[in-house]
Structure 1
């Protein structure tokens, strides 16, 4: 399918170093972006679907890098079906597993944790709930895992490993496990802050610097934050990615964002939700965290968007997260919410409002055009101006 989005007011690239794309059109073909910026009339006319954005803002689909996937579009923690599809209506086009730790009766032996990770990866390899891409299968690091186990997992397409829920004597015992997973090419993550569920323990700056994972999960607390003094240490003394989550401590979210800007570490600053958990299901969680950061710190709205898209894509080695030629065609149309005081999506985010969503495209396919079922209505109206596809792209009514 070839899709054009035209009449855009602003295009946010996903790259905070160069956050805007000049022009008003994005064209995708077979799931990839073929042009972002300008396009001639013939290129637009050749598309199967043309979406008139009505002056809205295009951003890369948001990447939630901390979602507690289990199996299917179901969370046993909150006993809810369909939450991933609901997150797509919050602009999230990719969810990354924070390990399948919430699977009831999850195994804790070496073969069991390997099997769980492989099964989760396989189940979501081609399954797109509501059109969302899910990166699942994160092996939970347990004592007894060997270097050859991580090599085996990598060969079976498992790309993630998580520290923080294993039966270790102290958190420092994760260091060799993380090193082994890294050597096999896995992206390593680590629970940070106070304990959250049975099996987890407190992990602070001292632990992180010894373990040195790729990503400090919910560095702002999940939900309890580590001591304030540890934030600057982790930034200055490591290259660990700094993941802040909606279901954490807001004050330390703002602290971490401020330090990331001041200490030239913004490439490592990423936004996620850490849901579904005891904090609940948050379809608009990333939109809230973006608005909090842009309205309560010196962070610009476009920087907050990039932290939830391109920064995550770089850390997790994804082909999405950017509105650039050759990248995955995951695109969200944002606007100022109807009835608000601001005129554009970026101004609304800077003001602390939740941006309204007018359309979501994933893998080059429009999933809905018109209105998200979860955000306020948009001020402007996106519409399908042309379609040769036998499909209704309107969102389901409330």
Structure 2
């Protein structure tokens, strides 16, 4: 028998879909066995609510799809060698992040560069995180770091092993342009390629210019607003105007550039290409609120509808990487966040808080249809709290 979760009493329901970012007339979400099965008004879903094993009352708060961090530096386990921090992924869940995407396990100590070692690391990381959900989040790991040692047969091996992510920018290439064959072979084998852009971020990486990006033609322009050093505006405009790459905006980048890119993309009808990530943990540190902070900053400085920006951090990411989460709609993974304006804010709800640059208070996080947190330990306290029936003793009062 499947477990049923019902979330009722939503004041606003965000869809994660930039084409219709708010679900009209909806205040209830029903989830069965980790999948959303209904979204609509409470009176139409009374039978489903009555038969639910768990009911969360949002008490007028905003319900949204869980955030997807499209640039999170995982390695193996819930540990980051770069910052020597444990349990950081479980902490990110308390920032509303229910999924993360690895840009390559590049911080692994002694990372290999030979073809066998490169493949082995990607395959092992993917397999490990298939069996491990820190804090309940889904980790899309095992992004192969492209190296000149990789040949077409190696990409066939990776595809057969289920590897579907790749990162370019940290391999031992004399010139980034030399990586074109590996990028193409990866794409030919169904692997989504993210490329470093801008200045070098750590020893072992090289600056990658707009000309390099045009030649490499990856699927995703990683941290197009800088990681941490931004490309020049003229180069960014080339990427926006002359390619179809996803435009990744990150917290660990240049905020001025991020605001400019988001506005330009929206004005020119290219906002579907905007995706959001944190690009942490890096030298910037461990940032559980990295993605929601980026949404708040972009909303307050750009004037873009925060519901649209939330979609860039959820549904747009899901579309770009072919994920089954990121939307509050029937058939999507039951990953969601309940949030409100924080105590002391002049805003009345979560969207109002984001609009003025306040980080909302998260009062519940659900992934795979299971309640993972009540009262985030990382955001400010929400003005209105979620109540659970029956109560969840190990989560009640936790912070």
Distance 2:216 2:340 in 1: 42
| Contact 1:367/1:393, CA 8 A, preserved across alignment | no
Residue 269 of structure 1 deviates from its aligned partner by 0.1
Partner residue of 2:142?
137
2:19 to 8, 13, 17: 17
Distance 1:395 1:260 in 2: 42
**SS state at 2:70 partner:** strand
Partner residue of 1:392?
393
**SS state at 2:154 partner:** helix
**SS state at 2:295 partner:** helix
Residue 174 of structure 1 deviates from its aligned partner by 1.5
Residue 339 of structure 1 deviates from its aligned partner by 1.0
| Contact 1:204/1:227, CA 8 A, preserved across alignment | no
Distance 1:185 1:41 in 2: 43
Moved over 6 A (4+): none
| Contact 1:373/1:396, CA 8 A, preserved across alignment | no
Partner residue of 2:35?
32
| Contact 1:68/1:102, CA 8 A, preserved across alignment | yes
**SS state at 1:348 partner:** helix
Partner residue of 1:374?
378
Partner residue of 1:63?
68
Partner residue of 1:152?
157
Partner residue of 1:239?
244
1:192 aligns with 2:192: no
Seen in structure 2, the aligned counterparts of structure 1 residues 336 and 248 have a Cα distance that, compared at 3 Å, is: same
TM (normalized to structure 2)?
0.97
1:336 aligns with 2:338: no
Partner residue of 1:72?
77
Partner residue of 1:3?
5
**SS state at 2:186 partner:** helix
Gaps of 5+ in 2: none
| Contact 1:90/1:287, CA 8 A, preserved across alignment | yes
Partner residue of 1:110?
115
Distance 1:289 1:132 in 2: 20
**SS state at 2:337 partner:** strand
| Contact 1:372/1:395, CA 8 A, preserved across alignment | no
Note the 1:238-387 alignment, pairs <5 A.
238-369=243-374, 371-386=375-390
Note the 1:213-224 alignment, pairs <5 A.
213-224=218-229
Distance 1:336 1:292 in 2: 15
Residue 298 of structure 1 deviates from its aligned partner by 3.1
Distance 1:132 1:287 in 2: 16
Over aligned residues, Cα RMSD in angstroms?
1.1
Distance 1:156 1:392 in 2: 40
Distance 1:70 1:395 in 2: 32
Seen in structure 2, the aligned counterparts of structure 1 residues 9 and 64 have a Cα distance that, compared at 3 Å, is: same
Residue 305 of structure 1 deviates from its aligned partner by 0.3
Distance 1:42 1:186 in 2: 43
| Contact 2:303/2:355, CA 8 A, preserved across alignment | no
* Alignment: residue pair count: 394
Distance 1:114 1:256 in 2: 35
| Contact 2:163/2:191, CA 8 A, preserved across alignment | yes
Distance 1:378 1:144 in 2: 51
| Contact 1:182/1:188, CA 8 A, preserved across alignment | yes
